[in-house]
Structure 1
């Protein structure tokens, strides 16, 4: 199965009773393992979690720490893009040249890179003392 296929399948498990906007994400870690996540809403909106965050948490929980590729899918009119917070989360675990595939459930896809999604990202280099 492709990453989009994995993301499409897990999207069906999303808990989105408020927005009705189900999102699925799948990533391949550098070890080759596939990790998936879906959005999980909460009636207290800020307490929900994004699909990308769920996939990253699953990756880290399994012992992997680097993303080799990631895909995100939603029933949207154009390929769904990770939100700003998820872009930062992805950048924490992926190099700038990692491919991000964004898709619609109708089959439209768009590929970019982590660096193009989050130019000038805040990274660990800012935390080191000069």
Structure 2
């Protein structure tokens, strides 16, 4: 696990919200810690027409709103308490924010953590680094 404190923050952020016409929000929550030590959280939003955002994206937006780009560690938690690995889109988003984010520690399940670099080993944008 990334660390119990970050996991607990994410788990406490989970709040199921029923939206119009089978939409829902808050059944996945994310907590990320920046290199400055500040923790930001976010929840997912899912609606039937496929418009929505991941919890990681919501937490990242909050982080960016406060002028930060470097993520030290990140964890996303489903409503049952299990850890969810970030989807490919979220992995790519994290990598595009700051070069140092390749060292972000990512929880991928309840027993394992890896760096973002391990999740994205063959960078498509390597020639622009």
TM-score under structure 1 length normalisation: 0.77
Deviation at 1:14, TM superposition (A): 5.9
Sort the Cα spacing of 1:30 and 1:53 in 2 relative to 1 into closer, same or farther, 3 A: same
Q: Tell me the SS of whatever aligns to 1:24.
A: strand
Q: Which runs of 5+ in 1 are unaligned?
A: none
Residue 101 of structure 1 corresponds to 107
The alignment yields a C-alpha RMSD, in angstroms, of: 2.8
Which residue does the alignment assign to 2:95? 91
Structure with greater strand share of residues: 2
Quick check: 1:40 aligned with 2:6? no
Aligned residues: 122
Work out whether residues 106 and 114 of structure 2, in 8 Å CA contact, stay in contact via their aligned partners in 1: yes
Query: 1:112 Cα deviation (Å)?
Result: 1.1
Is 1:59–2:54 an aligned residue pair? Answer: no
